[in-house]
Structure 1
Amino acid sequence: MTIASIIRNKTAGIIKVAPQTTISEVVLVLAQHKIGAVLVMDGPELHGVLSERDIVRAMARQPSGVRPLTAESLMTPARALTSVDATISDAMQMMTDKRVRHLPVLEDGAVIGVVSIGDVVKALLDQQTLEVENMRAYVGAS
């Protein structure tokens, strides 16, 4: 199973913000879409990923407030990317190695979406469930 299968099943398109978007605006986007991270992009160019975790950590460092800061100032640079052809296992390994929870997905060099650790775990569980059901059907037919 590949990342393409996860991207195909996601209903939302790319949720992104511009680098100069304020954290106040980012928080609204996260809440509106019920997501934990957004891509920070300038047109088609990916700058990084901004997650709830990035915002909370900044709040701990700057108790006076982070709302007027920009997405670019708090984002995590895109240090881990995956392609639509990558396997679910490859994505999980990259997330573990790079200690990230969100992977931007590229196809032909362009960002086409993002997968979260939750997406990857769900896909892996779905795959294992299907394999177990197939084995039970095979054993039952024998």
Structure 2
Amino acid sequence: MYFKLFLVFLIVPVIEIYLLIKVGSVIGGVATVAILLSISLFGAWLMKSQGGRILTKIRDELSQGRLPAAQMLDAALVFIGGALLATPGFFTDFLGIFFLIPATRRVIKAWLGLWLQSRISRGGFVVRRHH
């Protein structure tokens, strides 16, 4: 687990630096920064928009006495998308927007559901109770 995290924290910055250098050499530094700022502004707007919609759905579910589990997962994914957008770079911006768009978020949720089912069927989750 720690090795995977180490790889992520090593590989992602390398990808970001590579992309920034490549894009900057093609369109120039000012244009590159302008694109990154534009993507961040769009992402902030999308995060606010999706976050508001999700909060409304959570309130609706709670007012009807239901647990808003799907909406809570959506909220977590929107939060992750916002965190990725706050990280400068094209790769993390792409991933962040992927987490914010409802259609692509459905893909992520479906994949998470399949992954969870696979882990449960293999006994990948063990509940331990400490007394």
Which TM-score applies when normalising by structure 1? 0.28
More strand by share: 1
More helix by share: 2
Which TM-score applies when normalising by structure 2? 0.29
